[in-house]
């Protein structure tokens, strides 16, 4: 049997995992695809670097053209990350008729439509399961498992770093800065954690999920983003007392009036399955009109979980090769994009106010809610010995975003409101 040859771009943590699985699981892979799969060449920065895996040095190259110009290589696996020069490599590979498997969320979020158009033009597959939620097969689930259903909402924990930080803050009462330093020491957070903690990493993933789930050409700019750097241990403590856990959620909703996408810290009811997803784990909750509510849970990163998703995509490409159907079933965005306005997008809210401790304050606050047609689920005044003023916690019923913005604008002008301490969306 003629082997299928693969070019691997990158030999970091995930690339090493790919080599381990492909070389260590040859019997299982051949049973699935009916032919050997061989990693023919590997692009590295430094061929002389010591590695924790044994590689034939003849397979290593520092010149990407050795791989792109090798006519015997059928498939490119890209695990380098970043946009440039990776985008150029992938576009050239597709132009030469090579199929692509990538874990690159940045590339697929920002240039996914362009890459897929190039693939369709040249009859190639582009699969990118590992770009979202590591070892969770969520992309395949959306494109295949829900192909007969209409997805109305995708909501998930898609960044392990922020989930680790919020879990530690919740379980240990720790402050954000201390937990961030610990996460950096453990390797869960980068030296510059901005992409994770400010929600940018999650926003890229939600761009991909929204595009696939709704058949709309969602762009990164369509996702409203708020990170966790301003979340306090007091916010989390108050939430817990009211039966909520704080999670950074990516939320994509699709109704008749349009779509709405966001990444933000959310108070999640403890009875909701996402509330119990802790540590560096990821989970994605999908609502389908026919199937109802489903959840997919697992490790969101790491050498072998991510590599497992990549090799699963590799198997799919090889099966297509054997059947001669590469590039035949790729579904491009086909619906017109319509974003919900502030008047159309609605949710429940948690609000923490620092107010003057005197008679009539609550009446003036509730008048503002009534004025803007925002109804209240609960209002609590909580004693705080560290605060000489009063603290009021409000949970609203579902309210549109425009109404809430008007309420908060009123609060900023009220002399009895000293400070709007926190505002969070509520789910569950």
User: Measured between alpha carbons, how far is 35 from 29 in angstroms, rounded to an integer?
Assistant: 8
User: Measured between alpha carbons, how far is 428 from 274 in angstroms, rounded to an integer?
Assistant: 9
Q: How many CB atoms lie within 10 A of CB 334?
A: 8
**Contacts of 295-299 spanning 24+ positions with Cβ under 8 A:** 296/133, 296/136, 296/137, 296/138, 296/141, 297/136, 297/273, 298/133, 298/134, 298/135, 298/136, 299/134, 299/135, 299/136, 299/160
* Catalytic entry in 87, 205, 247, 348: 205
* Residue 205 annotated in active site: yes
State how far the alpha carbon of 225 is from the alpha carbons of 46, 153, 264, 280, 365, in Å. Answer: 37, 17, 6, 20, 28
State how far the alpha carbon of 393 is from the alpha carbons of 136, 151, 353, 421, in Å. Answer: 37, 34, 6, 10
Contact 285, 293 (CB under 8 A): yes
Q: Give the position of tokens 């509730």.
A: 366
E strand or H helix at 121, and its extent?
A: helix 105-121
Q: Is 244 left (phi over 0), alpha (psi -120 to 50) or beta?
A: beta
Q: Could you give phi then psi for residue 379, rounded to 5 degrees?
A: -135, 125
Spatial strand order in the sheet of 126-127: 60-61, 37-43, 4-9, 73-78, 99-102, 126-127
User: Measured between alpha carbons, how far is 294 from 281 in angstroms, rounded to an integer?
Assistant: 17
Q: Are strands 258-269 and 417-427 parallel, antiparallel or unpaired?
A: parallel
Contact 265, 231 (CB under 8 A): yes
Residue by residue, DSSP assigns 277-330 as --TTEEEEEEEETTTEEEEEEEE-SSHHHHHHHHHHHHHHHHHHHHHT-TTSS-
* Alpha-carbon dihedral angle through residues 373, 222, 264, 362, given to the nearest 10 degrees: -20
Q: Which two tokens stand for residue 101?
A: 């498997």
For 220-300, list the strands marked E by DSSP.
223-225, 244-255, 258-269, 281-288, 292-299
The residues annotated with a catalytic role in the active site are 205
């Amino acid at each position: 049997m003629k082997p299928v040859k693969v070019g691997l771009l990158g030999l970091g943590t995930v690339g090493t995992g790919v080599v381990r699985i492909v070389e260590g699981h040859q019997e299982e892979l051949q049973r699935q695809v009916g032919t050997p799969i061989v990693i023919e060449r590997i692009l590295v920065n430094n061929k002389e670097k010591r590695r924790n895996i044994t590689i034939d040095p003849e397979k290593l190259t520092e010149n990407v053209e050795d791989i792109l110009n090798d006519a015997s290589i059928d498939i490119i696996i890209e695990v380098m990350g970043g946009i440039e020069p990776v985008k150029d490599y992938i576009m050239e590979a597709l132009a030469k008729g090579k199929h692509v498997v990538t874990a690159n969320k940045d590339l697929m979020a920002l240039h996914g439509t362009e890459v897929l158009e190039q693939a369709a033009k040249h009859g190639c597959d582009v699969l990118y399961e590992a770009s979202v939620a590591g070892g969770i097969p969520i992309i395949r689930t959306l494109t295949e498992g829900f192909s007969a259903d209409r997805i109305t909402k995708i909501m998930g924990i898609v960044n392990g770093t922020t989930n680790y930080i919020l879990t530690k803050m919740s379980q240990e009462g720790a402050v954000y800065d201390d937990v961030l330093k610990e996460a950096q020491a453990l390797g869960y957070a980068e030296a510059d954690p901005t992409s994770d903690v400010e929600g940018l990493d999650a926003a890229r993933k939600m761009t991909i999920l929204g595009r696939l789930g709704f058949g709309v050409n969602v762009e990164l700019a369509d996702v409203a983003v708020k990170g966790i750097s301003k979340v306090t241990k007091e916010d989390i403590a108050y939430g817990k007392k009211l039966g909520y856990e704080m999670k950074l959620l990516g939320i994509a909703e699709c109704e008749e009036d349009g779509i709405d996408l966001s990444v933000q810290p959310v108070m999640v009811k403890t009875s909701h399955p996402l509330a119990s997803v802790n540590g560096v784990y990821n989970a994605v909750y999908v609502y389908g009109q026919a199937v109802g509510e489903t959840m997919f849970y697992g490790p969101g990163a790491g050498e072998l979980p991510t590599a497992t998703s990549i090799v699963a995509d590799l198997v799919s490409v090889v099966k297509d090769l054997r059947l001669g159907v590469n590039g035949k079933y790729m579904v491009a965005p086909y619906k017109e994009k319509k974003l919900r306005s502030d008047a159309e997008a609605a949710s429940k809210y948690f609000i923490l106010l620092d107010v003057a401790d005197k008679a009539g304050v609550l009446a003036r606050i509730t008048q503002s809610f009534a004025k803007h047609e925002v109804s209240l689920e609960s209002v609590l005044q909580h004693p705080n010995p560290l605060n000489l003023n009063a603290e009021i916690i409000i949970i609203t019923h579902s309210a549109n975003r425009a109404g809430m913005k008007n309420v908060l604008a009123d609060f900023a002008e009220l002399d009895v409101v000293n400070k709007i301490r926190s505002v969070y969306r509520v789910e569950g």
